[in-house]
Chains A and B, each alone.
Chain A
């Protein structure tokens, strides 16, 4: 935590993510107006002391809508990051530890799944299951999880070549014990950085999916606000700024937090490349990329 605070990106990221959490907590107990109450007399009110962000074409308070929208974003972020972590760790560690041909077929399957763009996968799942927040989170988490699996697999491979693994095996440590005591702690930092990037991706993906109208109509969300406000963007261009800025800030927050985490853990990362373990030419192209290169975007 202290190390994250020392990097500028980490500091800004922590502040933004912390504020977002605070907003969600506040929105649970208080919003200035009922975000879904239609007040025909109050259509397109400008920014005022009563309506901090003004109102939309139905007279609904935009500030309250942004506050409540943060809940949906946070829910999808937490759920999809958790799903991605489970899929990524299980598939990644399994394919690294399993017998050679099993592991290689798993990696092959992962590569095929990566070929389906995350948002397209989300569309397929929504088509099959119908759009609920869980479906959306499952889709985002699954798409990000297979990408994470690839990173986990190559990191685990690196760890497996270390002497302490040989020592653990020699002293009769069970597979699960080796995973828990030696593999997880060593791939942990990289996985955490990746999860923070996945969180940023989830913010964008949720916004995109709800903008496309694939989340439930009743769920307030920034993407859905933008979809509604777009219809009158020629007359009231200002309104889109607020939900748009909310998406940008949330994404930026998680991305910067990821940068901060990376910098905080830099000594290990730097040592890893310095010893040439991931040097050019020794690994296939997709694995020789720096870990930063696994950003996906919708």
Chain B
């Protein structure tokens, strides 16, 4: 197991390094120059040259990269090209909104979708199982921001239960207010993520149900549900844990859109705004952070896999 963890750790470090190169190359090799954007359309060529020198854009590609990555290794995610604020400071303050949003919604999605997925698999020929399946098919097809808009119309406008938009300006000073502001975004994300998760759980459980050991379990006198809980759960959990890992990536993408719907001052809103203003310094810091989070979660998922299923440790 130790060897397995060490090998995975090596792969993780390599992947982090590689993803930083990919992000840097994508943002620097492609056309489009921040100096030109900053200078405006009226700027003279000399002014743009001066700006380029000031921003360090005139140095060699490799120099710029090592500078950036060196800073990150020292905990410096760079500065905004537009207002010179530290990217890390802004990210940490935005994360106080985004992190709870991601955590609460994935917890809610998992709590609802995993049991339902098993139920739907066990009863896949009955009316309720089929109904669940159809509902999830619909849930996948509905864009999350549309779900959000519908919830706003019903819950906030019609019933006047929860705030439709925004987040308290004093952040978490009043936890109840902050939670109320997050309630609808969390439910929205949980619905669209839960629908996908449900389908994965269902198909994983269906796979397990067809296996020989399930027939053996039934033959030795267990009921369907007993067999499913005792033998099916652990076997189905390997693909389900994989999916939870993959879902984090799509959850982050969902956050980009949901924060816009509910006007939450989170990482997603910031990234979209920065893309709009072409603040590449902030974009590359933010995107790297996202990649780091996804890769680290992938690493954790692999370790959990090893714990659940000893056979996978050997494959490495």
B18 contacts A109, CB within 8 Å? Answer: yes
A116 contacts B294, CB within 8 Å? Answer: yes
A119 contacts B275, CB within 8 Å? Answer: no
- A221 and B71 CA atoms in complex are apart in Å by 41
**Any chain B CB within 8 A of the CB of A195?**
no
Contacts of B143 in A (CB 8 A): 204, 207-208, 211, 223, 244, 247-248, 251, 298
B252 contacts A295, CB within 8 Å? Answer: no
Contacts of A283 in B (CB 8 A): 315
Q: Mark A203-230, 1 if CB is under 8 A from B, else 0.
A: 0100110011110000000010010001
**Any chain B CB within 8 A of the CB of A22?**
no
**Any chain A CB within 8 A of the CB of B124?**
no
Given A118-B253, A230-B261, A289-B242, check contact A281 B309 (CB 8 Å). Answer: yes
A296 contacts B250, CB within 8 Å? Answer: yes
- Interface SS, A side: helix
Q: How many residues of B contact A (CB 8 A)?
A: 69
Measured CB to CB, the closest approach of chain A to B305, in angstroms, equals 5
Contacts of B11 in A (CB 8 A): 108
Measured CB to CB, the closest approach of chain B to A297, in angstroms, equals 5
Chain B contacts with A in 214-242, Cβ cutoff 8 A: 235, 238-239, 241-242
B257 contacts A212, CB within 8 Å? Answer: yes
- With beta carbons under 8 angstroms apart, the residue of A230, A251, A252, A289 that contacts B149 is A230
**Any chain A CB within 8 A of the CB of B129?**
no
B196 contacts A208, CB within 8 Å? Answer: no
- With beta carbons under 8 angstroms apart, the residue of A214, A252, A297 that contacts B275 is A214
Measured CB to CB, the closest approach of chain A to B122, in angstroms, equals 18
Contacts of A248 in B (CB 8 A): 138, 141-143, 146
- A204 and B142 CA atoms in complex are apart in Å by 8
Q: Mark B128-156, 1 if CB is under 8 A from A, else 0.
A: 00000000011011111110011011000
- Interface SS, B side: helix
Chain A interface size band reads 35 or more
Q: Mark A96-131, 1 if CB is under 8 A from B, else 0.
A: 000000000000110111111111100111111110
B275 contacts A115, CB within 8 Å? Answer: no
- A115 and B287 CA atoms in complex are apart in Å by 11
B272 contacts A123, CB within 8 Å? Answer: yes
- A204 and B139 CA atoms in complex are apart in Å by 12
**Any chain B CB within 8 A of the CB of A6?**
no
Contacts of B257 in A (CB 8 A): 119, 208, 211-212, 298
Chain B contacts with A in 271-285, Cβ cutoff 8 A: 271-272, 274-276, 278, 280, 283
A286 contacts B295, CB within 8 Å? Answer: no
Binds B, one of A159-167, A173-181, A232-240: A232-240
- A293 and B198 CA atoms in complex are apart in Å by 11
- A123 and B196 CA atoms in complex are apart in Å by 23
Instruction: Using CB atoms, name the residue of chain A closest to B27.
Output: A128
Contacts of A113 in B (CB 8 A): 22
B239 contacts A288, CB within 8 Å? Answer: yes
Measured CB to CB, the closest approach of chain B to A26, in angstroms, equals 23
Contacts of B315 in A (CB 8 A): 283-284
B295 contacts A285, CB within 8 Å? Answer: no
**Any chain A CB within 8 A of the CB of B256?**
yes
- A283 and B309 CA atoms in complex are apart in Å by 12
A297 contacts B146, CB within 8 Å? Answer: no
B311 contacts A281, CB within 8 Å? Answer: yes
A116 contacts B287, CB within 8 Å? Answer: yes
- A114 and B252 CA atoms in complex are apart in Å by 13
Given A127-B27, A127-B278, A284-B312, check contact A237 B157 (CB 8 Å). Answer: yes
Instruction: Using CB atoms, name the residue of chain B closest to A294.
Output: B246
Contacts of B272 in A (CB 8 A): 123, 212-214
Chain A contacts with B in 243-280, Cβ cutoff 8 A: 244, 247-249, 251-252, 255-256, 280
- A255 and B298 CA atoms in complex are apart in Å by 27
**Any chain B CB within 8 A of the CB of A172?**
no
- With beta carbons under 8 angstroms apart, the residue of A115, A124, A226, A295 that contacts B145 is A226
- With beta carbons under 8 angstroms apart, the residue of B261, B290, B305 that contacts A117 is B290
- A52 and B204 CA atoms in complex are apart in Å by 44
Known pairs A113-B22, A298-B254 / 17 extra A-B pairs, C-beta < 8 Å? A115-B19, A117-B249, A117-B290, A123-B283, A124-B287, A226-B149, A234-B164, A237-B157, A244-B142, A252-B141, A280-B238, A281-B312, A285-B238, A285-B242, A285-B305, A292-B199, A298-B144
Give the 4 A-B CB pairs with smallest separation, nearest first: A119-B253, A128-B30, A251-B141, A117-B253
Would you give 9 A-B contacts (Cβ < 8 Å), ordered by A? A112-B19, A114-B249, A115-B295, A226-B149, A240-B150, A251-B140, A252-B141, A284-B315, A285-B302
Q: Mark A residues whose CB is within 8 Å of B.
A: 108-109, 111-120, 123-130, 200, 204, 207-208, 211-214, 223, 226, 230, 233-234, 237, 240, 244, 247-249, 251-252, 255-256, 280-281, 283-286, 288-290, 292-293, 295-298
